[in-house]
Each structure stands twice: as C-alpha cells, then as structure tokens.
Amino acid sequence: MADYSFNGGIVIKNPYPVSKVEIIQAPLPKKIVLPLQQLGGQAKPCVSVGDYVFTGQVVASTKGSFDVPIHASISGVVLSIDKQVIAHKSGLKSQCITIESDGKDKWLVNKNSGVDFLHYSKQALVEIIQKSGVIGLGGAGFPTHVKMSKVLDCHTLIINGTECEPGVMCDDALMQFHPRDIIRGVEILLHICGAKRAIIAIEDDKQSAYQALSMFNHNDRISINQVPTKYTSGAEKLLIKALLNVEISSGKFAVDEGVICQNIATTKAVFDAVINHKPLVSRIVTVTGDGVKPNNFEVRLGASFKHLISMASPNNKAHDYRMGGMMMGIDVASIDIPIGKTTTAIFVNNQAQKPIVQACIRCGQCSEVCPVGLLPQQLYWYAKSKSIEKALSYNLADCIECACCDYVCPSHIPLANYFSFAKALNKQQTREQDRINTARERFEFREYRLERNKLERAQMMANKKKSLKEKMANEHAQKQKITEAMQRVQQAKDKNDGTNI
C-alpha cells in the first residue's frame, strides 16, 4: 500500500473513544436561530415576523452569485428578525431569523426527487447545489457551487474523508451509514467538474468506513485511498501533496492546479440536493469531551448547542465548551448559540486548571512537528515583538494554524494564537498602509490638479492677452488703412478741385 504520508504532524489518538460510532437523531428543537451573515455578505429576509414557514422554505436570499439562500430547518412561525449572539469567536451579535417550531415538521412539497443527474447540464447541477444552500461542511464554509464552477481543466477530484481534528467522528459516521449516497455524490461532482478520476481519502484507522464505501463503489474512476491517521492529514494542501505529489505553492489554490477538494459531508449534501432536491437543513455534529457521553447527532441547523449537548448525557460538573475541535476550534462562553452549517463538533470538557505558560527553552520540538516546515520558535519571537515584516520573511502566511507546535511545546506557549494574532495584525497594517497610500495618492493628485489648473489658467490668460493685442493691432491697422484711404480720396479730390479752377 502506498504511504501517502507527509512530513511533520502528530499522531493523537481519539481522547474520547466510543465503543460504537453512531448517528443519533436529535429531536426537533423548539426554536431555531438562523444567522443571516455569510462569507459574501448578509442575506435579506424574505419572510416577516408572524409568517408561517415550512421546513425547507427559503427564508432569506442573496442577490449575489457568491452566497446561498437560507432555508427554514423546521416548520413553525417566525418569532423575530433581530440581532442574536452567534457561534463566532468574536462573541458578537448578528442579524438572525428566529423560528418557533409547531412540532409538526411540515415540509415544502418537493416534486422533483429521484432525478437522473446525467440528464442535467453541469450549469443546472451547479444551480441546484446553490439553491439547496450547500456550502463546505468541513469547517471553512466556502460555497460549493462557486468552487465547482471556478475550476478549469480539472484532472482530479479529491473527497476528503479524513477527520479534520482528533476526536471528531462525524465524517466517519457518515461514511459508515451513508456510503451509497456518498459514492453517488462523488459521481455527481465528477460529472460537474469533468475530472478523469476521484480519490476518496480515509484515515487508516477508519476500517468500517473504508469497507462500507468499498462495498458500494463500482465506479472505475473512483478509488479509495487510506492515508496515515496523523493530524493534520486533512489539510487540503498537505492531502494533495500526499496523494498526488502536487505542490500547491504559497498564495495558490488547489483549483489553480486542476484539483478540487470536497469534504465527505459536503458530498452527501450534494447528493441530497441533486437526487432528492432536499435543501441543507441539518448536519451531523460530534458532541464529545470528558463532560458528556460522546457520539454523533443529526440535528437541525439553528438548534442551540444547549439542545444538542442535553442529548449527550452531560455530567453535573462545570464545563468548558469548545466549538470545532480540540486543536483548531474556538472556546465559546455560552451554549445558547445556534449550530451552523460548519459546526462539525462541540467539545464539552470538565473545567480543569490551565497549564502555566513558561519561557521558550529552544528545544526545537515545535519545528519537528510543523507540517508545513516552518520554524515556530522563530516566528514566535517575531510575533511576540510584533515584528511582522520579519515574521512574514519566515513564511508566517503559510502557517495553517494547526497548533501541532502548541501541542508538543513543553513550555505550553500558545504559539498558534500568536501566529493568528500576527496575521491579523499584518492584515490590519496592510489595510492601514493601503488607506495611507490612497490618502497620499489623493493628496498628490489634488496638488497636481491645482497646479495644472493654475498653469492652464495662466496659459489661458496669456492667450487671451495675446489675442486681444492682435485684435487691437488689427483694428489699429484697419483704422490706419481707412485713414490712409480717406486721405488718398481727399488728396485726389483736392487735386481735381485745383485742376477745375
């Protein structure tokens, strides 16, 4: 078997293993909160407070081609359209639509299920994916229809079935319980992007998922490759390098090299959208940690973290909550926040003493595990002293903030946080510099414009003066000619008068 490995990274066993990976259906929430903010901008509500909505009905839409519509994930009545705290590291409020459930889950009637996608044009399929609200469900949330329509000369489609973080099991569960739909989803994506082949990448400790997919895969263009169970094998560029030996250079994207990567859950959502014309109204979320009984739950989008955590038999201790994953996730202060399309996991851990941060001892362990070959200890010095130029010269921009360096650091330095901060500072400084440059350019142009106007005015005056002078000279010459002519006439007259005498 090929190795498909990469340098660096760390092997972290699932800290909260389960005896059986399941997908447990979470009951209908009493209320859902749907944030309107998307990557490209804010969606516009197309319902009003008091309206009755069906499950799957569009409740907010966008004008732009980048974003996707937002669908009601339950049936019920629109309770409010106002600002609510959302699942974001800022902890700030954002405009949301809140719907109260009628407990009936009445769906919008769908007449198009069971279609044969081969009869659809690629453009029509991309449109269906957009209208169904499908975005990347692996965590990034990039709109799937944009990625699918952007690629040119795609040669390989990669379906990323590696869990993004240790302890997260939602993709494993999907592959085990929905292998047929996933293979069909891969075929739809292949039809759209026109790639010759698709590779489904699965970590080698997910044997049940591997076998389930292999059993349903009868397509010669689709292969299923097992990659080492090593964090961060799911990072897109690393996965492409490991599978295809194609290097995606800094600042470039996979699509620039003719490769498209889609997540397993996104692939299943594409199947639901195209084959069943079912919009994205639910997702599988892993709830794990030492404060709960870990497993996966299928839950309606917009249900609260609290609703889902209550399904996972939480213990009575005080908890810390983390969204996304133990490595790259973010701590959240409240669990009265809605589950979104990119909520892969919720970590519920018993509160514990945080390790004390100590000085760097230059042990070099962080560089050994960095999967993109950076020097984290060096970057740390520059990030800490806000020497952003220096940090950039040590390829700060290539840091994927995977926190492998944090994990091994004996001094417990939160290195990835420093790098994230340094990147944000760089963005801010770049924006500030752009603002200063724009202001300077505008000032210089104003000065130039004033000087140009002054010169033009002076030239105009000189021209005017000259033409006035010429006019006066002409008039004078004309007058002179007339006077001379009159004198000649007078002289001739005088001469004639003399002759007659």
Binding mask 117-156 for ligand SF4 (x = CB under 6 A): ----------------------------------------
By CB under 6 A, tell whether 233 contacts ligand SF4: no
By CB under 6 A, tell whether 404 contacts ligand SF4: yes
476 Cβ neighbours under 8 A, 6+ residues apart: none
Pick between residue 181 and residue 406 the one whose CB is nearest to ligand SF4.
406
By CB under 6 A, tell whether 164 contacts ligand SF4: no
How far apart are the C-alpha atoms of 204 and 227, rounded to whole Å?
Answer: 6
Give Cα separations from 306 to 68, 109, 299, 311, 338 (angstroms).
27, 31, 12, 9, 9
Question: Segment contacting ligand SF4 (CB under 6 A): 122-130, 214-222, 358-366, 381-389?
Answer: 358-366
Structure tokens at 303: 């249900």
How far apart are the C-alpha atoms of 180 and 128, rounded to whole Å?
Answer: 20
How far apart are the C-alpha atoms of 199 and 337, rounded to whole Å?
Answer: 36
By CB under 6 A, tell whether 242 contacts ligand SF4: no
By CB under 6 A, tell whether 363 contacts ligand SF4: yes
Query: Angle at which helices 122-131 and 179-193 pack, to 10 degrees?
Result: 130
Candidate residues 47, 287, 372, 388; the one interacting with ligand SF4 per rule CB under 6 A: 372
By CB under 6 A, tell whether 361 contacts ligand SF4: yes
Pick between residue 217 and residue 377 the one whose CB is nearest to ligand SF4.
377
Candidate residues 47, 60, 70, 405; the one interacting with ligand SF4 per rule CB under 6 A: 405
By CB under 6 A, tell whether 6 contacts ligand SF4: no
By CB under 6 A, tell whether 391 contacts ligand SF4: no
b/e burial code for range 228-246 (CB count within 10 A of at least 16 → b): bbbbbbbbbbbbbbbbbee
Task: For residue 483, say if its preceding peptide bond is cis, omega within 30 degrees of 0.
Answer: no
Where does 245-359 show beta strands of DSSP type E?
259-263, 282-288, 295-300, 319-323, 330-332, 345-350
Q: Half-sphere exposure of 98 toward its Cβ, with a 13 Å CA cutoff?
A: 17
**Interior angle at CA 320, CA 319 and CA 321, nearest 5:** 115
By CB under 6 A, tell whether 413 contacts ligand SF4: yes
By CB under 6 A, tell whether 402 contacts ligand SF4: yes
Pick between residue 14 and residue 411 the one whose CB is nearest to ligand SF4.
411
Candidate residues 178, 403, 418, 423; the one interacting with ligand SF4 per rule CB under 6 A: 403
By CB under 6 A, tell whether 183 contacts ligand SF4: no
Pick between residue 16 and residue 419 the one whose CB is nearest to ligand SF4.
419
420: left (phi over 0), alpha (psi -120 to 50) or beta: alpha
Nearest to 309 by CA among 332, 331, 330, 335: 335
Question: Segment contacting ligand SF4 (CB under 6 A): 20-28, 293-301, 397-405, 479-487?
Answer: 397-405
# binding residues, ligand SF4 (CB under 6 A): 28
Pick between residue 68 and residue 240 the one whose CB is nearest to ligand SF4.
240
Nearest to 341 by CA among 105, 63, 132, 486: 132
Structure tokens at 116: 């044969």
Candidate residues 81, 301, 366, 391; the one interacting with ligand SF4 per rule CB under 6 A: 366
Question: Segment contacting ligand SF4 (CB under 6 A): 86-94, 166-174, 360-368, 487-495?
Answer: 360-368
By CB under 6 A, tell whether 419 contacts ligand SF4: yes
Rg of the chain, C-alpha, whole Å: 35
By CB under 6 A, tell whether 362 contacts ligand SF4: yes
By CB under 6 A, tell whether 400 contacts ligand SF4: yes
Candidate residues 87, 346, 399, 422; the one interacting with ligand SF4 per rule CB under 6 A: 399
Pick between residue 73 and residue 377 the one whose CB is nearest to ligand SF4.
377
Which DSSP category does 157 fall into? E
By CB under 6 A, tell whether 270 contacts ligand SF4: no
By CB under 6 A, tell whether 238 contacts ligand SF4: no
Give Cα separations from 4 to 199, 243, 257, 302 (angstroms).
12, 6, 19, 38
**Interior angle at CA 401, CA 312 and CA 94, nearest 5:** 60
Which residues would be at the binding site for ligand SF4 (CB under 6 A)?
360-366, 369-370, 372, 374, 376-377, 380, 399-405, 409-411, 413, 415-416, 419
